């Protein structure tokens, strides 16, 4: 430290203070110059911070504006370069197709074909030459070229004032060759879109032929081709496309092929066409069954749904135009085929949705067969017993969907029977027996089902609780109604002991209460003294016996109750 800081000499104090003030002033001037050079203002820190924030915000806005501008330019670029070119090529192809449809009355018959083949060849060659620099155009040029090649071949027989080919058979052969060549080219190009176009040309050839057996065989071959390509390349949408085209083409045949100028009417001969419809369904189910990924995703469910619904829908449409006596046999065959497909899906991959779809269509076909073969009320009884078959297979498939759907159908059949079935007789008790057996099967194999609750079992048991007394009421003579109900209650008690199930005891109790109400109402109003005596004595005796059994076997019953479900 300087010595004057500790000095006590007053005479030198004034000079020393002046020197210190001079040093501080010089230091302040230097700091001010440094701050000015750095544009730093310590007296206004908030203003500086605000300026920095505003600067950053402006920068962000500029960047967002640039991003928006880039997106806008990118959209404009996509529309201008790609979409305009694609739409332009398609429009050009359509225009050339219209050009080829002119009659050309004053020109040789071969001229339109020569022009068409030259133009289609130009498109195909242009596609090959533009593949490197204009790849986005190459595929469309090839597609238009292949389509024009097919259309030009059609022009040899159709549209002209004077046709170069006079026989439809020759035309169909040439179109088949062109469609097959287009398909081969599309597969070698590894293009699902060109393949879809080529398949559509094949289906068009089948329809143009207007020959029933050629149409059926062609649709089967094209269906198999779609399945093969789907399995090989994983083109799920191609299989969907094939399904739609196949059933639509068969529908066009069924309405007399109006696309080639025929009058619309239904055609059902040859009846073997129904077997071909089922054959298409088998082919397409194979394509979905043997897919690489066995997980049931959207496309798997979509393909099964379309195949099942379109095939059986078309099948029904055709059969409903036939004589009734032919319906039962064909729908029985359809039932076997669809159930076999559903079973195959279950065995192969434990399918949940495809199995349900095909199985329900199979059950529906079986119901249609029964309805066509039998008259009321027998058909309702058979449909009722069919419900038991459905429950049994549903347990095997472990499908809660089938169980629930079957119960709803079971109720619909029962109420339809009540509405139009005619007289209710002893056979009507089948509905109650089926309900009891269905509940028993569900309880027996409940561990196999995804349905872990008791709701469906209770629903079936509740149905039996009301249906059986109802059927006996109409089927039995008046003097035996109460006795038959008592017998049913006793049977329920026996079942509860054998099966160790408390639900049957409750059914017995409720049936007895129903009998009590009936006996006390009808018994006092009946004019037959014999009936009154028998009813009251029988009811009283049974109820006393049951009471004594509850009393004497209370300890045993408690043990049974604890062991029951």
Question: Structural domain boundaries of the chain?
Answer: 480-565
Write out pLDDT tens, residues 94-129: 888 777 777 777 777 778 788 888 988 888 888 888
- Decide which of 302 and 32 is more confident: 302
* Tokens 């967002």 sit on residue: 64
Confidence band, pLDDT 50/70/90 cuts, at residue 2: very low
pLDDT at residue 307 in the model:
96
Distances (CA, A) of 305 to 298, 299, 342, 357: 11, 10, 12, 7
Mapped onto helix, strand or coil, the DSSP state of residue 504 is: helix
Structure tokens at 287: 């394509």
Tell me the range of 13-22, 82-91, 273-282, 475-484 where mean pLDDT is highest.
273-282
Mean per-residue pLDDT over the chain, rounded? 79
Burial class, 220, CB count within 10 angstroms (exposed 0-12 / middle 13-18 / buried 19+): middle
Tell me the range of 98-107, 365-374, 438-447 where mean pLDDT is highest.
365-374
Sorted by sequence, the CB contacts under 8 Å of residue 281 that are 6+ apart come out as 307, 308, 311, 312, 337, 338, 341
pLDDT at residue 220 in the model:
96
Burial class, 70, CB count within 10 angstroms (exposed 0-12 / middle 13-18 / buried 19+): exposed
What ranges in 500-565 are assigned the alpha helix state H?
502-525, 529-552, 554-563
Write out pLDDT tens, residues 382-426: 888 888 888 888 887 777 788 888 888 888 888 888 887 666 666
- Decide which of 289 and 132 is more confident: 289
Separation CA 185–CA 237 (nearest Å): 19
Please report, for the chain, how many H helices and E strands are present, in that order. Answer: 21, 0
Write out pLDDT tens, residues 45-93: 455 454 554 555 555 545 555 555 566 566 656 665 556 666 777 787 7
Confidence band, pLDDT 50/70/90 cuts, at residue 6: very low
- What's the rounded mean pLDDT across residues 320-337? 88
- Decide which of 528 and 316 is more confident: 316
Distances (CA, A) of 73 to 62, 68, 137, 190: 16, 8, 21, 32
Write out pLDDT tens, residues 150-203: 988 988 888 766 777 878 899 999 999 999 999 999 999 888 989 999 999 999
- What's the rounded mean pLDDT across residues 450-469? 78
Cβ burial 117-130 (10 Å sphere, 16+ → b, else e): eebbeebbebbeeb
Residue 41 φ then ψ, to 5°: -125, 90
Write out pLDDT tens, residues 234-252: 899 999 999 999 999 999 9
Residue 81: count of CB within 10 angstroms of its CB: 13
Given a cut of 50, whether residue 10 has pLDDT beyond it is no
Structure tokens at 561: 């109750």
Confidence band, pLDDT 50/70/90 cuts, at residue 31: low
135-155 vs 111-129: helix crossing angle, rounded to 10: 160
Confidence band, pLDDT 50/70/90 cuts, at residue 366: very high
- What's the rounded mean pLDDT across residues 18-42? 64
Q: Whole-prediction pTM value?
A: 0.73
pLDDT at residue 448 in the model:
58
């Amino acid at each position: 430290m300087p010595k004057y800081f500790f000095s006590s000499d007053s005479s030198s104090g004034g000079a020393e203070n002046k020197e210190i003030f001079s040093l501080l002033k010089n230091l302040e001037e230097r700091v001010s110059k440094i701050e000015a050079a750095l544009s730093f203002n310590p007296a206004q820190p908030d203003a500086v911070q605000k300026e920095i924030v505003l600067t950053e915000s402006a920068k962000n806005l500029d960047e967002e504006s640039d991003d928006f501008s880039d997106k806008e330019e990118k959209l404009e670029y996509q529309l201008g370069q790609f979409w305009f070119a694609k739409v332009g090529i398609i429009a050009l192809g359509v225009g050339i197709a219209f050009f080829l449809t002119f009659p050309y009355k004053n020109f040789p018959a071969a001229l339109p074909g020569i022009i068409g083949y030259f133009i289609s060849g130009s498109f195909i060659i242009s596609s090959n030459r533009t593949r490197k620099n204009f790849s986005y155009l190459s595929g469309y040029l090839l597609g238009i070229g292949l389509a024009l090649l097919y259309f030009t071949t059609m022009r040899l027989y159709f549209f002209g004032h004077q046709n170069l080919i006079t026989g439809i058979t020759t035309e169909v052969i040439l179109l088949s060759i062109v469609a097959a060549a287009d398909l081969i080219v599309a597969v070698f190009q590894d293009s699902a879109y060109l393949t879809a176009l080529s398949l559509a040309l094949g289906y068009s050839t089948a329809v143009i032929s207007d020959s029933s057996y050629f149409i059926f065989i062609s649709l089967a071959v094209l269906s198999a081709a779609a399945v093969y390509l789907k399995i090989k390349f994983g083109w799920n949408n191609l299989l969907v496309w094939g399904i739609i085209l196949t059933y639509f083409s068969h529908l066009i045949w069924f309405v007399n092929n109006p696309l080639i100028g025929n009058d619309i009417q239904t055609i059902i001969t040859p009846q073997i066409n129904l077997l071909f419809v089922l054959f298409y369904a088998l082919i397409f189910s194979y394509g979905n069954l043997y897919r690489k990924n066995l997980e049931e995703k959207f496309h798997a469910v979509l393909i099964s749904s379309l195949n099942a619904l379109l095939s059986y829908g078309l099948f029904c449409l055709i059969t409903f135009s036939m004589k009734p006596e032919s319906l039962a046999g064909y729908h029985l065959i359809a039932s076997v085929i669809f159930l076999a497909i559903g079973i195959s899906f279950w065995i192969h991959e434990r399918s949940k949705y495809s199995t349900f779809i095909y199985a329900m269509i199979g059950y529906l076909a079986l119901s249609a067969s029964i309805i066509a073969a039998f008259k009321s009320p027998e058909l309702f009884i058979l449909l009722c017993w069919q419900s038991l078959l459905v429950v049994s297979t549903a347990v095997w498939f472990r499908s809660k969907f089938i169980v629930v759907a079957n119960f709803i159908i079971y109720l619909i059949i029962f109420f339809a029977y009540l509405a139009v079935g005619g007289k209710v007789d002893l056979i009507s008790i089948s509905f109650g027996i089926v309900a009891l057996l269905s509940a028993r099967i569900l309880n027996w194999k409940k561990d196999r089902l995804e349905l872990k609750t008791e709701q469906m079992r209770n629903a079936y048991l509740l149905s039996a609780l009301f249906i059986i007394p109802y059927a006996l009421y109409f089927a039995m003579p008046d003097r035996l109604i109460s006795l038959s109900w008592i017998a049913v209650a006793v049977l329920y008690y026996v079942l509860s002991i054998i099966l160790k199930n408390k639900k049957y005891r409750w059914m017995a109790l409720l049936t007895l209460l129903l009998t009590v109400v009936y006996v006390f109402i009808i018994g006092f109003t009946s004019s037959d003294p014999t009936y009154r005596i028998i009813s009251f004595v029988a009811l009283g005796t049974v109820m006393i016996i049951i009471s004594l059994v509850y009393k004497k076997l209370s300890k045993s019953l408690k043990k049974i109750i604890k062991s029951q479900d």
